[in-house]
Structure 1
Amino acid sequence: MHIVPGLKVLYFGTPVVLISTVNPDGSANLAPMSSAWWLGESAMLGMGNSSQTAANLQRHGECVLNLASSDMADAVDRIAMTTGNPEIKPYRRTQGYVHVKDKFALGGFTRQQSDLVEPPRVKECPIQLECRVVEGRAFDESATGFQVRVLRAHIEDELVVPGTHYVDARRWDPLIMKFCEFFGGGVNVRPSRLAEGWQMPVLQPQ
């Protein structure tokens, strides 16, 4: 039987992406996001307008989509409640967001130079996609949908089916964010600070 509870959040789950962009001063910004999907050689990214990442995409037009694996949940969570924007909206302060200038250092991530774009890659991520913004469109009053073109893909060789250009889905275990909880291999791998900040039920791994 189905019920109609009036869900407050429609956040059914996508792979966690560490998106790197360039700040106005030329430094690198890094932010976890999980509103992304791919079609052909393009991706659609959903970003809140108050984020530094959205501002960087609008201004600079380049990014790297670094796809995290399930064993990176702790590192990703360390930067989950941070922002590269020094001017934090009151509602985000209430949620617990803090300004962090160097999120690579906070998360323990290693910068890796990109080939075709300015933002750096995250060395620890087994899949890294260098991208350029095609366009940004208002999604609603608080968010923008960005279409980006994948210019170059970097894949760990152990994830590639030998003799092909295809990912071995049996070896690729992405970190998934479902309703603000981290999942990998179909199981809850750790609670998320994001869930607490967004006042959602915090689940403990079973």
Structure 2
Amino acid sequence: MNSGAHTAIEPGILYFGTPVVLVSSTNEDGSANLAPMSSAFWLGWRAVLGLGVRSRTAQNLLRTREGVLNLPSESMAPAVDRLALTTGSDPVPAGKLARGYFHVADKFGRAGLTPVASSTVAPPRVAECPVAMEVVVEAVHPVGDDGGVVAFEVRVQRVLVHESVRMAGTEDRIDPDAWRPLIMSFQKFYGLGAQVHPSTLASIPERLYRGPDIERARRVPAV
């Protein structure tokens, strides 16, 4: 049995496990960029994305103020891994070059994934991803003291899903037993296991969490 004693350590990263996100954005020449990241979390119909400010994705989001958050399933790990150590930036930023990154212009081709037209933003969605969220940038917040990392606050305008992850008998709910996200934990890929315990929070109807951003999203016209 664990004694409960703690030991102070200084890990280089604190990635305890979050969903992988494939962020699609638009390059300056109008082509699509696709980049994996996992520093993301959601609050209502908003998400916070942590990105290196010099990355191509960050630069595209800063310039165009829009993108798509594509969530791959655990079965898509090989496709996501084909994007590892690639960057849309040319020349490759020094920090990434030191880590072994190399330039790839056609990220969709590299990953073997299919771009499909989005409904409300210019960047394409990833057809193979069971969940895609079209977003616009609402705010950008600096993180830390060196200016190298920023947190993008993005607002969701459309949530689009494969029928396979919808909860049977409902219009707007995801079935957590059908949705098997790809998880990144300390630079390694994992999937979700089975439910381990009933949740008291599950007794609260999801409709009670619906905020004003959903009504705002309904008024966004298709492009």
- TM-score w.r.t. the length of structure 2 is 0.81
Shift of 1:10: 1.0
Query: Higher Cα Rg: structure 1 or 2?
Result: 2
2:6 match: 2
Structure 2 portions without partners, runs of 5+: 194-223
Give the letter aligned to residue 93 of structure 1: L
2:111 match: 107
Q: Which has the higher strand share?
A: 1
Shift of 1:180: 0.6
Partners in 1 of 2:95 and 2:115 — Cα distance?
A: 31
Partners in 2 of 1:168 and 1:183 — Cα distance?
A: 19
Give the letter aligned to residue 160 of structure 2: H
Aligned residues: 187
Q: Give 4+ residue runs of structure 1 displaced > 4 Å after superposition.
A: none
What's the Cα RMSD here?
A: 1.2
1:158 match: 164
2:219 match: none
1:10-89 to 2 correspondences below 5 Å? 10-89=14-93
1:132 match: 136
Secondary structure of 1:119's aligned partner: coil
The percentage of counterpart residues that share the same residue type is 48
Secondary structure of 2:92's aligned partner: coil
Secondary structure of 1:37's aligned partner: strand
Secondary structure of 1:106's aligned partner: helix
Partners in 2 of 1:89 and 1:159 — Cα distance?
A: 38
Cα deviation 1:31-66 (Å, max 9, x = unaligned): 001011111111111101121000000000110000
Mapped pair 1:173 → 2:180: yes
- TM-score w.r.t. the length of structure 1 is 0.88
Shift of 1:91: 2.7
